[in-house]
Structure 1
Amino acid sequence: MRETSGKTPIWKAIADALRSDLAEGRYVPGDKLPTEAALAERFGVNRHTVRHGVSALVEEGLIRTRRGAGAFVAGTPTDYAIGRRVRFHENLIAAGRRPEKRVLALEERAATTGEAKALDLAPGDPVFAYHGLSLADGQPIAVFESLFPLARLTGIASALSETSSVTEALSAVGVPDYTRASTRLTAVRATATQALHLQVTEGDPLLRSSGVNVAGTGEPVEYGRTWFAGDRVTLTLEG
């Protein structure tokens, strides 16, 4: 392919071709595009011209690139409501997405000073930690850590080993319902481990949500921290 005066620039023709691929469903949100070398071979141009065409789609928000990983099809951010009743599965189903949770680790440990304060415990009291990955339509959108007071929730460790759902686990140990007592949102940068799980680049922007859930008695039953991929979730605050 050669550029000819008065005709569409080759880089623009490449952008148009890739845009058509997206519209026809050849690539779907989360898919990785072929490498620059493969695209250069497909279009018969050099990699610089391919890079120019892909950059046009990045500016349009159709493609996102990750240093050292390549170019990926961008997805529409998932609407995620944060209010008095935060429920992962319900939120994603309401947004028309397929919810999924993957357990990364389960462990019993001592509460830090900050965690103890949030859960109304003494520093060093035992808590059960649930580390996990949240996905929407198979794409990772957040990593999280949920902490539960062991003395207050007998059997929570066994319940969480049998289900990835916090709501189901709490119900199994006598907490049929719970509400959010407080939420704090903070912009942070992705650590190397978080970047690996979320398939982003270390240092990319994340939005951290910290919250305390309480039972009907008002006692804290969960202190959770969630790190959302900044470009994949739109958080909605509800009263």
Structure 2
Amino acid sequence: MTRRHEQIAEALREAIADGRHPVGGALPSEAELAERHGVSRGTVRQAVSALQAEGMIGSRQGARRVVLSTAPSQSFAELRSFAQWARAGGHTPGGRVLESVRCAARVEEAALLQLAPQSQVLRVLRVRTLDGEPVLLERTVYAGWIADAVQRLPDDCESVTQSLYDDTGLVFAHGEHHIDAVAAGTVDSQRLGVRRGSPLLRVRRTTTTPEGRPVESSDDRYRPGSVVFTVRNSTQANPLARLGRD
């Protein structure tokens, strides 16, 4: 059964999405929301904390919470799978394998996965959904040593990360991400329901075990408006590196 604070969080997401609480505007106070929903301020605080963790709202001491985005965000401060991130934000994740084939690694794939040239890899094309809507197309290349375990998973596996941990004990510990924008090609447009040439947010990532052994390399393409990535930094630490082009 959905808990009360989750219901309130979802109601706030819907109000933000349809413009009742526009970006830049302030949310009602905790007292107002508590009265509106017939709950305690503590329950309201749990609900708005979920939206704050998603990056949809922000706050500062002594001021009302302000709407920052109409889309849930994902931070690079921690490594989480798509399904883990979606559930943490109160959303329902889904996925389906569209293609899966074993083949020889390309030169760049072998380098990223630290494999010998022409080593066998598993190449998987997978669409990810958020609350039933397609939002992400993943082109993932798995190192040969984990390919059997990946292929044993059902095509609609909700979380590959969790399933591989449950089945084999594999831990995805480190990730390197490169972010840019690309135009949607034929496959992207068909699978994500956008026009050919539409801008997609692309995240290219390589994930390794705690020992640094590469597990996968992936090209992830997000539908416009489906997700916002956030980076929080300071003078002491900066998790994001900006690279120039030659």
TM-score for the superposition, normalised by structure 2: 0.61
Q: Tell me the distance in 2 between the aligned counterparts of 1:160 and 1:174.
A: 12
Q: CA deviation at 1:202?
A: 0.4
Q: Which stretch shows the higher mean deviation, 77-86 or 223-232? A: 77-86
Pick one of 143, 149, 152 that aligns with 2:143.
Answer: 149
The verdict on how the C-alpha distance between 1:213 and 1:88 changes in structure 2, with shifts beyond 3 A counting, is: same
Letter in 2 for 1:192: T
Q: Which residue of 1 aligns with 2:92?
A: 98
Q: Which residue of 1 aligns with 2:118?
A: 124
Residue 192 of structure 1 pairs with residue 186 of structure 2: yes
Give CA-to-partner distance per residue, 1:140-188, whole Å, 9 cap, x none: 11100121111x2263243334662321443256343112331101110
Give CA-to-partner distance per residue, 1:184-220, whole Å, 9 cap, x none: 0111000011001100000000011111111122100
Q: 5 Å matches for 1:41-120?
A: 76-120=70-114
- Contact 2:97/2:155 (8 A) holds in 1: no
The verdict on how the C-alpha distance between 1:166 and 1:160 changes in structure 2, with shifts beyond 3 A counting, is: same
Q: Which residue of 1 aligns with 2:211?
A: 217
Q: Alignment partner of 1:144: what SS?
A: strand
Q: Alignment partner of 1:197: what SS?
A: helix
Q: Alignment partner of 2:86: what SS?
A: helix
- Contact 1:79/1:95 (8 A) holds in 2: no
- Contact 2:124/2:139 (8 A) holds in 1: yes
Aligned residues: 167
Q: 5 Å matches for 1:33-48?
A: none
RMSD: 2.4
Unpaired segments of 5 or more residues in structure 1? 1-21, 25-74
Residue 226 of structure 1 pairs with residue 220 of structure 2: yes
- Contact 2:174/2:212 (8 A) holds in 1: no
- Contact 2:199/2:224 (8 A) holds in 1: yes
Q: Which has a greater percent of strand?
A: 1
- Contact 2:141/2:216 (8 A) holds in 1: yes
Q: Tell me the distance in 2 between the aligned counterparts of 1:204 and 1:127.
A: 30
Percent identity reads 25
Larger gyration radius, structure 1 or structure 2: 1
Give CA-to-partner distance per residue, 1:32-76, whole Å, 9 cap, x none: xxxxxxxxxxxxxxxxxxxxxxxxxxxxxxxxxxxxxxxxxxx94
Unpaired segments of 5 or more residues in structure 2? 1-17, 21-68, 233-238, 240-246
